[in-house]
Amino acid sequence: MTQSKVESLNIAGMHCASCALLIKKSLESTKGVETASVNYASQKAVIKFNPDIVDNSTLISAVTASGYRVVAEKIDEAVESRLYRTRFFFSLLLTLPLIVSMFVMIPGIFWIALVLTTINVFIVGRNFYLGFWAALKLKTFTMDSLIAIGTFSAYIFSLLTNTHHYFEVAASLVTFVTLGKWLESLAKAKTSAALTKLIDLSPKLAHLKTDKTYKDIPVESVKINDYLLVKSGEIIPLDATVVSGSSSVDQSSLTGESIPVDLQAGDKVFAGTQNLTGALEIKVTSDSKNSLLSRIIKMVDEAQSTRAPIQDLADRISSVFVPAVLILALITFLVWQFILKSPFDVSLLHFLAVIVIACPCALGLATPTAIMVSTGLAARFGILIKGGEALQNTVDINAIAFDKTGTLTTGTPIVTSFKNFSQLSDSEILKIAYSLEINSAHPLAKAIINYSQSKNITASDFKTKNFKTLPGFGLQMEIDKDKYFLGKTKSSQIELTK
C-alpha cells in the first residue's frame, strides 16, 4: 500500500477566510487528495494525498482553478501590506469626491461619479469579482460573492436610474473593505517579523577551509563534513562539532540560557548561536535545511498554519453564512418592495445594507488570525507553540512546570550585589573592572559595564595594554604596568603581577 504524502503550498491572492474554504473545496474534490487544510492567515495549504494518483502539478492546477496562484516563496507580508495601503489610498481618493457630492452640488456629477466608481469597483475591487466568478464555477459562495453582488447592484442601479446617489455606496464599500485588508495585513506583517527574526539568526556567509586558506561562501553551499572557521564575535552558521580551539558560546537564542557555555574540541555547536571569545574550527554535521535552528523555524511556520479544533466549527458556520446572508438580503428586499410597498430604491437600499453589514465575516477570520498572531508573538519572546490544537488546549492548564535554566528570568545577567575585599575604594575597583570588561562582548561583561555606569563609572585615564581573552576562564590586561585578571577564581593558567 502506497504511503500518503504531505505537501505544503504557498498561495497568493487569498484575501478572506472564504478564499481558504474555496481552495480547500477545490483541492478535496481532486481525485487522490485525502485531506486539505488551507489557512488564510498564513497563506498556506497543507495537502495529504496519494502520490500514485495525484502529483504536485495536479494540486497546483486545483488551486489555479479556484482563482488563486501557487508561488515558490511565501509572499512578504510587508510587501503585501504596502500593496493594500496603496490600494486603500487610491480607492479613498476616488471615493472622496462622491462623498463630497452628497453635500455640495457639483456640475456633471453623474458622469464624474460614473468614471470614478467604475475605476474603483472594477479595478481596485477586481479581485472580489475574480473570486466571485471562481466560486460560481465551483457552485459555491464566498465573502467575495457578498462584496461583488453588493457593489455591482448599487453600481447598476445608479446606472439604470441615471442617478449618482448609489455610486458612492459601491465605491465606499470597496474603500472600507480595502481598509480592513490593509489593517489586517499590518497585523500579519508584525507577526511575520518574529519568524524573520529567527531566520536572521543564521549568517549568510561561512568561512570555508580550503588547502591553505579560508574562503567566504554562501551558507547554503556548505556541505556536511566541510571545515569552517568561526571568528570571535561571529554567529555560528551551521550545526557542527568543534575540531580545534576553545571559546565561550552564547546559546541563549536557542536554549534561553543567559550564561554562555564553554566549549572545546569535541563539543557540539549549533547554528544561530554566537561565538564570544576564541576562534573555533568546526566540522559541519548538518546542512542549512536540517540544522536545529531550521527545524525550529519550520516548527513555528507550521504552527502558524495549523488549525485549532474550534476552527472546524467556524468553517462549517462560514460555509453557510454567505448563502444565508444572500437569502436574508433577498427576503429583506421583497418585504420592503411588495409588503411594505416602498419605492424600489428604498428596497434596494435595505438589500444592500444587509450585504454591507455582513462584510467581512469576522467569524471566519478570527481563528486563523488569532493562531498566527499568538504563535508569532510568542516566538518573539522565545516561546514556541506546537500548533493550533496546543494553543486551544491552554485554556485547560492549571499548573506549569519550569526547568532550572533560568526560564523565568529576562535572559539578561545583571549585577545584584558588589562586595569589596581589597584596600582600594569601590570606585577604583569598578574603574579597573570597567577597563577590563569594556573590551569584551561577553554577557557577564555587559552586566559589569552596566553596573559600573549606574555608579557613574564611564571611563578611566588608566594606561591599558595587552588585553587577552582566556576562553573558559575570563580575561586579563595590563593596567598601569600591573597585570589584572577578571574571571573564575580557580585557574592554574593565570599568573598575576602584584
Beta bridge partner(s), residue 71: 10
- Of residues 60, 15, 59, the one with CA closest to residue 40: 15
DSSP structural state of residue 235 = B
Annotated active-site residue in 200, 312, 403, 480: 403
b vs e for 143-174, b when ≥16 Cβ sit within 10 Å of the residue's Cβ?
Answer: bbbbbbbbbbbbbebbbeeeebbbbbbbbbbb
- Catalytic residue check, 200: no
- Of residues 305, 246, 239, the one with CA closest to residue 276: 246
Cα separation, 360 vs 120, whole angstroms: 18
The runs of H, that is alpha helices, within 56-103 are 56-65, 77-100
- Of residues 31, 32, 23, 70, the one with CA closest to residue 51: 32
Q: Is 279 exposed, middle or buried (0-12, 13-18, 19+ CB in 10 A)?
A: middle
Cα separation, 275 vs 137, whole angstroms: 58
Contacts of 275 (CB under 8 A, 6+ apart): 230, 231, 232, 233, 234, 235, 236, 247, 249, 269
**Which parts of 213-267 are beta strand (E)?**
214-218, 227-230, 240-244, 247-250, 261-263
CA-CA-CA-CA torsion sign (376, 198, 389, 314): positive
Contacts of 63 (CB under 8 A, 6+ apart): 9, 11, 23, 26, 27, 45, 69, 70
Asked whether the beta carbons of 256 and 191 are under 8 A apart, the reply is no
Reported as type and span, the H/E element at residue 469 is strand 464-470
- Catalytic positions, written as ranges: 403
